A and B are shown apart, each in its own frame.
Chain A
Amino acid sequence: MAAENRPKLITRRRAIVAGLASVGGVFLARRPAELPPTYGNLLRMGDTFTYAAHRALLPGQSLVKEYTLADLSSFPATGTIDDKGKPPAAAYRKLQADGFTGWTLTVEGRVRTPRAFALRDIKQLPSRTQITRHTCEEGWTAIGQWTGTPLSAVLDLVGVLPSARFVIFESHDEWVDGIDMLDALHPQTILAYGMNGRELPVQHGAPVRLRVETQIGYKSMKYLKRIVVKDEFDDGGEKGNIRNGWAWYNGI
C-alpha cells in the first residue's frame, strides 16, 4: 500500500517528454549549419525537414553498397544532351567532334587557387572505380561500374576555404545543381570519366559526369562544365531543380 502511495519518479508522460526532448537535442546539435530555404512552400518544407533529419540522424559518410561485375545491368539513358526543350548544344557538339580535347572543367568560387582541368588532368588524379546502383526518381534502378576521381581530390587541389558549405555544378545541357560539403567530400562522390570499363558514353554524360551515390539519380549531373564552391545555398535559379518543381535534397 505504501509503495502505491509514493509518487512515481518516472511517469509515462515524463518518459515520453524526455524521449522527445533528447531526440530534439540530437536534432538541434547535429543539424546542418546552413539549411536550404523553404520558399514558403509546403513541399520544400518537407524536403528541408528530410534533409535536416538525414543530416542529424544518419551517421556522416556511410558508404553505399557496392556490387560486383556480375551485377552490372542494362542502363537506360534519360536526360541526355538531345532532350527536347533543351537549347541546341552547339558548343558541346564542337567539343565532342574534337574528342573532348578542348573540354575543360573550371573549379572556382570560395577556393584558394581556381583552376581549369582538362580531361587528361582529371585522369591523372587519384582514381576510384565503384560498382553502384543508380536509383532514378522514376522508380527504376540500374547497376553500373564507374571510374573517376573523387570530387574531394579536386577540391583538395584547389583548396576549399573553411567557410565553404556548398558545391554547385553547371552542365553543358544547361542545368545547375548543388550538394552540401558532406556529400561533396563523400568518398564515393566522384567525377566519373569511365563507365563499365570504357570511356563514358555521350548518352551517359561524356566526357565527365558527377556520381552522388547517396542521392537519387538526377543529382548525378551529366556533361559537367563548371564547379563553383559557395558559402551559401544556391538553387541554380531558372536552371535549377527547385524552380522546375523538383526537390534539391534527394537522399530519399
Chain B
Amino acid sequence: MILNGLPRLGYTALRLTTETGAPPHHESWVRISHWILAAALLVLVFTGVAILMVHPRLYWGETGNDLTPALLELKISRNYRHGGWTAQTPFFQAPGSAISAVRTYDIFNQNGWARSLHFLSAWWLAIPGVLYLVNGLARGHFRWPQYGRAQRLAYRFIVFVAAPLMVLTGMTMAPAVTAAMPFLLRVFGGYQSARTIHFFTFVVLLVFTAGHVVMVIRSGFRRQMRGMTLGS
C-alpha cells in the first residue's frame, strides 16, 4: 500500500513545493492541539533520552537488569557496559541460580528531574491528545481529503497507532497503573517488553517528525507555519 502511495506522495510534494498560493487553512482546535502536542513531544523526547541514558539496555519479558543479558545495548551514556558490580552471590544452591551483586560504579543518573518532567509532559500529550482524537473523530477530521494517499496513511498511523501505543506502553511501566489494569502487562508481554516497544515506537515517531518537518520546509515553510499558527 505504501508503495502504491509513493508516486502520489512524490507528486504531492512536488505540487506543494511549486505552490505559492494562500497558506493551508487549519481550524483553531487543530492549531492549538498541534502546538501543545508538539511542545509536549519535544520535552518527552528530551527527557525520554535522559531516562534511557540511565539504563541504556533493552530487554523482552518482565525482567531485565545489569545481571541479566540484554536484547540490545545502546552506547549513549557512561553507563553503557559499565560492569561495576561486586562478586556475584547466588540466591540458590542449584547451578545457574539467580544472583545478586552490589553496584560499585557511580552511574549517570538524572532521573530525579527527567522522570518528573517526562510525566508532566506526558499529561500534556495524553489529555489534549484524547481531546484531539475525540473531537477529530466527531468532526471527520481524519479523512484528510487534501492529503495524498501515503501521507494520509502516515498521519493515520501516527494518530491511531503510534501515539496511543506510546501512551499505553508508558502506562504499562507504571506499577500503580498495572495494579489496576493488569491486562496491559499481558498485552505487551511484560514490563520490559513494553519498555522496548516504547523505545522503538519513539524511533518511529522521530522518523515521522523528521519527515514531517522536511515536508513542511519543502512545501513553503513560512506559508505552512502561517497556516498552523494564524489559521490562514
Which residues of A approach B to under 8 Å, CB–CB? 12, 16, 42-47, 49-50, 53-54, 58-59, 62-65, 67, 71-78, 80, 82, 84, 133, 135-143, 195-196, 198, 201, 203-204, 213-216, 244-247, 251-252
Contacts and interface: CB of A to CB of B under 8 A. Distances in A.
Contacts of A82: 102
Given A80-B102, A135-B175, A143 B111 contact: no
A234 to B, nearest CB: 19
Given A12-B135, A140-B64, 14 more contacts: A43-B117, A49-B120, A65-B182, A67-B62, A71-B62, A75-B100, A76-B100, A139-B54, A140-B57, A141-B63, A143-B63, A245-B112, A246-B112, A251-B175
B142 interface: no
B116 A44 contact: yes
Contact of B177 (A42, A246, A252): A252
Contacts of A63: 179
B188 interface: no
Contacts of B65: 73-76, 136, 140-142
Contact of B103 (A76, A137, A204, A215): A76
Interface stretch (B30-38, B91-99, B154-162, B210-218): B91-99
B100 A77 contact: yes
Interface of B: 51-52, 54-55, 57, 62-68, 85, 89, 91-92, 98-103, 106-107, 109, 111-113, 115-117, 119-120, 123, 131, 134-135, 138-139, 173-180, 182, 185, 191-192, 195
B113 A216 contact: no
A252 B66 contact: no
A64 B109 contact: no
Contacts of B64: 140-141
Given A16-B134, A141-B64, A213 B175 contact: yes
B166 to A, nearest CB: 15
B119 A138 contact: no
B64 to A, nearest CB: 6
B98 A196 contact: yes
B180 A62 contact: yes
